[in-house]
Chain A
Amino acid sequence: MLQGFLASLSPASLLVEILGVIIGIIFGAIPGLTATLAIALFVPVTFLMSAEHGMIMLGGIYAGGIFGGSISAILINVPGTPASVVTGWEGYALAREGRAPFALSLAALSSGVGGLLSALALLFLTPALSSLALTFGPPEYCALLLFSFTIVTFMMDGSLIRSLLGLFFGLLVTTIGLDPVTGAARFTFGNVDLLSGFNLVAVLVGFFCMTEAVYLASEVFDESPSAAVKFGKEREYGALLKTMLTRAVTYLRSSAIGIFLGILPAIGPVETPFIAHTIERRFNRGDAKFGKGSVTGLIASECSISANVGGSLIPLISLGIPGSGAAAVFIGALTLHGLQPGPLLFQNQPVLIYTFFWGFIAVNLFMLLFGIFGARYFAVVLKLSAGVLATFIAFFSILGAYAINNSMFDVGVMFGATALAMWLRALRVPILPIVLAVILGPQFEQQTLVLFTTSESLKSVLERPIADVFFALSLLIVVFAVGKRLRN
């Protein structure tokens, strides 16, 4: 372990750590270009370096990419990556209050803390956490996903029936493509591009980025007093420290959720902030700003995303099971370097593994420092006019959608999602349940089908305590929300 620690501090290691984080932040900040894409693109570059340096660089790109997405989400309400959607709700609202430097620094701090805690978990708890994750079966997955749907739909302000329509509409959209269990084509109408369904990144770029470009374009001619984001002068380092100290429990809780969800082989950084945010909402019922500029909400989102990144590396290293799409690309990179992820990796390459673990801790430290002290330099974005921003957001949205599969079909999907988002907003159907359904829908269907086909009786499901807790909580929320609305 000590040898790995020293190796991670060599000049070459420090260089690849910094380089990885910077590349990741650039990719993450551009709408549509995801951390997964960045890792995939830079795998060939790692052949120029040793295996441990290659792994550290990819780890840096992964962590930096996840944080980078939050920069544009906070400053211009355009999530750079799908994982930053929740950060955008909280961070952009804070930025509009003139607290953009604080929101950016807090996002960096939360991301860094979540990443560091997950890196420590990676270092010390890898074998134990991997075996715990393996006890999570279809009943637990179903209960957890149902809990997320219930909280988002039933706890939202506004029309319950419209939220439910949004949820079911989103779940229906995700059934287009191949059936996850039998592989049968559904609603594809002979179109080969539809076999894999609508690409999630293209849909989210359409929902959030292109829509924002159109709104910004319309703001150019708006003669009413501007509601544009002001960056603010104050640095607020004191407030940042105070926030961290007074919300230590939120940091720990969100990091724990992020790490655990990261270990699960199905829930990646995109889904995690939604779940962590909804759970945190339950602990902060008195916070009226939750979802609209809540500091706690921002911490929960950022902390859980970064913790998820580290968490997803735990089953990858110890069992060879990827916890997310990016982790799957990571496995490919390891294999190309002649390494076989799994228990034997610890025995055969202990120095390499511990160099990577310590390097991952350093990567998160660099990301934290870049984020906190570089916040003011990201603010150059705010000096651009709405017209210039709209133009370049539209350009990067199209490019991002195209770059996923080098396919114009995904660009079409992105435009379709933009039109759909605006239409549903005009119909007053909230966008959040649809987004959640689109993200978690495929997983929900798969786990539900597996649960129904493998469970012998209801009793066998009820014998799972973790699942029971989530099912009971979901039921309580439904009863509470419906009762409250009936009383009103």
Chain B
Amino acid sequence: MLNFNLLSLLLIVLGAAFLGLQTPQIAAVARVYPLVMIALVIACALAIAAQELAGRSATPPLDAKLAKMLFAPMRSRIRVLGFVAVWLAYTGALPHVGFIVATTCAISISLWLLAIRRPLVGVATATAFSLVISILFATTLYIPTPSGPVDQLLTQAIYAIQHRGNSNDH
């Protein structure tokens, strides 16, 4: 743990020092405040590191939830990593495949990893959820989402239904 703490503090000091090296490129008036903060961050990090090295620091207990996660069995940790990977991949895929397809896939896999043992139930839930949310966003809440081929088909279908309604009125 000492190594982790010292390495982390070193990273903070190096990061702050790197920002400090960028300050000459900033206008004089605008650089004073960040420089003061950089100096204070480095000073605090060095003070903690010195305390750790001297063994004088009564290290506070680790956050309970984090401790439970870090010291969980390997199987659990792999599943949690899988969960994080799914949602990172979702972010990457969203602009390319569109909201409905990406959301359906991500929710299905995430549910399969964490909650639902029967994949078909997960896929059905995810598909229904994605469609309902898409329709709600498009027609009621007006929240824009990345569009793919399936999203465009849905938008056209909604437009056609609304337009048909208007035509009938006339």
Contact = CB atoms under 8 A, between A and B. Distances in A.
Nearest to A42: B142
B97 interface: no
Given A168-B40, A395-B103, A175 B114 contact: no
A264 to B, nearest CB: 22
A429 to B, nearest CB: 9
A168 B79 contact: no
A421 to B, nearest CB: 10
B60 A159 contact: yes
Given A391-B107, A395-B107, A221 B63 contact: no
Interface in B101-145: 103, 106-107, 110-111, 113-116, 141-145
Interface in A208-255: 214-215, 217-222, 224
Closest A-B pairs by Cβ, 9 of them: A387-B115, A387-B114, A179-B30, A221-B76, A165-B44, A218-B69, A172-B37, A175-B34, A168-B40
A477 interface: no
Interface string B63-97: 10110111011011101100110011011001100
B65 to A, nearest CB: 5
B80 A218 contact: yes
Contacts of B57: 159
A6 interface: no
B167 interface: no
B68 A222 contact: yes
A222 B114 CA distance: 12
A428 interface: yes
Contact of A394 (B31, B45, B110): B110
Interface of B: 4-5, 8-9, 12, 16, 19, 22, 26-27, 29-31, 33-34, 37-38, 40-41, 44-45, 47-48, 51, 57-63, 65-66, 68-70, 72-73, 75-77, 79-80, 83-84, 87-88, 90-91, 94-95, 103, 106-107, 110-111, 113-116, 141-146
Contacts, number: 167
9 contacts: A168-B40, A172-B16, A179-B30, A182-B27, A217-B83, A411-B91, A426-B63, A427-B9, A428-B60
Contact of A406 (B26, B33, B77, B144): B144
A403 interface: yes
A162 B141 CA distance: 43
A20 B143 CA distance: 17
Contacts of A169: 12, 41
Contact of A398 (B12, B90, B111, B141): B90
A190 to B, nearest CB: 11
Interface in A20-63: 27, 33, 41-42, 44
Contacts of A184: 26-27, 29-30
Interface string A158-174: 11011011001101100
Contacts of A224: 68
Nearest to A424: B8
A395 B34 contact: no
B20 to A, nearest CB: 10
B39 to A, nearest CB: 9
Interface in A161-201: 161-162, 164-165, 168-169, 171-172, 175, 179, 181-182, 184-187
A162 B31 CA distance: 25
Contact of B68 (A218, A391, A392, A406): A218
A390 B79 CA distance: 12
Given A217-B79, A221-B73, A427-B8, 10 more contacts: A162-B48, A172-B37, A215-B65, A386-B114, A395-B87, A395-B106, A395-B107, A398-B90, A403-B144, A427-B9
Pick from A162, A408, A423 the residue with the most CB of B within 10 Å. A162
A422 B8 contact: no
Pick from A44, A168, A224, A398 the residue with the most CB of B within 10 Å. A168
Contacts of B107: 391-392, 395
B3 to A, nearest CB: 12
Interface string A367-397: 0000000000000000001111011101100
A135 B98 CA distance: 51
Contact of B22 (A187, A408, A415, A423): A187
A214 B84 contact: yes
Contacts of A425: 62-63, 66
A54 to B, nearest CB: 16
Pick from A27, A159, A169, A175 the residue with the most CB of B within 10 Å. A175
A412 interface: yes
Contacts of A390: 83, 110, 114
Contacts of A395: 87, 103, 106-107
A398 B90 CA distance: 9
B69 A171 contact: no
B66 A164 contact: no
A468 interface: no
Contacts of B19: 172, 187
A428 B63 CA distance: 7
A448 interface: yes
A445 interface: yes
Contacts of B72: 218, 221-222
Contact of B29 (A171, A182, A218, A222): A182
Contacts of B62: 425-426, 428
